[in-house]
Structure 1
Amino acid sequence: MGMVAQMIGGKMSMVPDLSFPMIDVRDVAKLHVQALTKKDINGKRFIAARKQTTHFLEIASILKENGYKKASTKKAPLFMLKLIALFDPEVKALLTSVGKHPTVDISDTEATFDWDPIPLKKSVLDMARSVEQALQPDNQA
């Protein structure tokens, strides 16, 4: 959510070449409820994620196309990220993942549960609205 907050707030002027397995927290909850009632899965582990990894650029594009004008869809060059990493520990930690696009095998999860993930666009826009709501002055302590 922090990255989405930075994107919609215009604090991320460029998007790193990063992707990650993403899942909506509501999907996690649904899978947990199903796991409580499913027979013969005690002790088994399941991966809760979308089939395709989600690229930061996808998230930024969804935001921009839906009225979040401050969301940048410019890709950050690696040399710039390396320079920023000299001064920013968060960027430094991300460097090892730049350019890598991990995959996950969720075939066991799909075969075991009646689950269709919430569409990425809905997840991103709901998250953005949630972030906006949390950032409103009347919601802060």
Structure 2
Amino acid sequence: MACIEELNYEILLGNSSYRECADYIKANFNEIYYVMPGYRIFDLHLIGIPPIPVGVDAENIVLPYLKPCRGSFVLKIQGINELLFLRTSKKEVIEFDGINYEVICWDGNICEKCPRKRAFIEGYRLVQNLKRPSLSSKLVEVTIKSLEMLRKS
């Protein structure tokens, strides 16, 4: 698995909350795609509160990046190959907090019985019901690790 430090990136917003990073992308970019936590881009798995906004700026991808040891950032990374996949992937409309989002599924496949999708939706609802957003990044991270272990077996 790659590390974000190995990529050539520009920090557009740093030392912010995850919500501020997501709001920054929604406010400053017209072309936005929504992905679920665990979505693989640049050989990295994104973590965050679903749905995660991924913006497009010319040939660059703009994404909120949550690194548990450093905090939340908005990164701009050149990604022509990733753009093609984002634009051509299958999407599904999922409702969060009364808002409908067109969300790209993990592998570009949509499956109502997808255990990963269900786990993240339930994890999101749990965090919202507990009203403890500080739990969200850890919950998503633990869920991703659990699902990867299940996937390997």
Structure with the higher strand share, 1 or 2 = 2
Using structure 1 for the length normalisation, give the TM-score: 0.30
Structure with the higher helix share, 1 or 2 = 1
Whose Rg is larger? Answer: 1
Q: Which has the higher contact order (CA 8 A, sep 6+)?
A: 1
Using structure 2 for the length normalisation, give the TM-score: 0.29
